[in-house]
Amino acid sequence: MSFLELEDLTLRHGLLEAVHGVSLELGEGEVLALVGANGAGKTTLLRGLAGAHRPAAGRILLDGRDITRMPAYKRVHIGIALVPEGRRLFANLTVEENLRVAACNPGRGHWTLERVLEAFPMLGPLRRQRAATLSGGEQQATAIGRALMTNPRLLLLDEVSLGLAPIAIEAVYASLKAVLAEGTTVLLVDQDFTRAAAIAHRVVCMLEGRFVLEGKGSELTREQITEAYFGLGRTVETTA
Ligand code: ATP
């Protein structure tokens, strides 16, 4: 039995089918990078896993238990945490307050305020600073730290490096390595394929709501990724 299983999962926005019956198995401790162009369906899928978007069809199983209809707040308690695209911090709260507000499930995992501040050294001097005044990289570190405060078993990271300066991306990924060392299962979305593939055990490429390529990052060629990313290998129908 896999830790996480998706069976024919379909997610819609009204009439638009953003994720078309995808299936996936993820082992405990596995790190999976989900890549793909804008609009491929990555965010919708992550939100579906976190319980923020109700699937139209298919099933989500965690430890073999069907959680497809479980509300988001209960998923946090069974160990699913989402770091959403755009971070969504509480702008008027300090870094420390943003972290403390999420604290739950003590005893299940390793994460406490002190340990988050150790893993993200850039946050220490900013503890009492309001989130609204942080740089993009500092906000991302706070958002990941906030998710860790729930002691997740499955960490969902959406667009880790989007909008960050190269030096901030370096720092966030360096801290992520400390997180991965704890053996947390991670599903990571990043437009930066090279960086995501470097820390992932497996890469899945998504195109127009479907998984079109899967493999170890080190085994996939740049041509395969480019083709899958943009759908270049598909035949184009023309009307003569
Ligand atoms: P991005 O990197 O741009 O966030 P993505 O791969 O995460 O792309 P999604 O954001 O999941 O893709 O979008 C998948 C499809 O669903 C797109 O066609 C998008 O326009 C559509 N979509 C996303 N959110 C909504 C919404 N709230 N209402 C209607 N359509 C939406």
Residue owning the nearest CA to atom 9 of ligand 1: 41
Name the nearest CA neighbour of 143 among 201, 92, 95, 192. 95
Residue owning the nearest CA to atom 14 of ligand 1: 41
What ligand 1 atom has the least distance to the C-alpha of 19? Answer: 14
Q: Identify the residue with better confidence: 60 or 174.
A: 60
Name the nearest CA neighbour of 34 among 45, 25, 23. 45
Count of other CB atoms within 10 angstroms of residue 128: 9
Distance 34 CA to ligand 1 centre (A): 15
Mean pLDDT of the chain: 89
> What is the average pLDDT across 43-57?
96
**H or E segment to which residue 11 belongs:** strand 4-13
Domains and CATH numbers, the chain: 4-238 (3.40.50.300)
**Contact assessment for residue 47 and residue 53, using Cβ atoms and an 8 Å cutoff:** yes
Q: Distance (Å, rounded) from C-alpha 19 to C-alpha 40?
A: 8
Considering only the C-alpha atoms of the chain, give the largest distance between any 2 of them, rounded to a whole number of Å. 66
* Confidence label for 99 from pLDDT (cuts 50, 70 and 90): very high
Q: What is the pLDDT of residues 112-154, one digit of tens each?
A: 899 999 889 889 999 999 999 999 989 999 999 999 999 999 9
* Confidence label for 237 from pLDDT (cuts 50, 70 and 90): very low
Q: Where are the alpha helices (DSSP H) in 87-190?
A: 95-100, 113-119, 136-148, 166-180
Which residue out of 9, 11, 16 has the highest number of ligand 1 atoms within 8 Å of its CB and is therefore the one to mutate?
A: 16
Tell me what pLDDT residue 28 has. Answer: 93
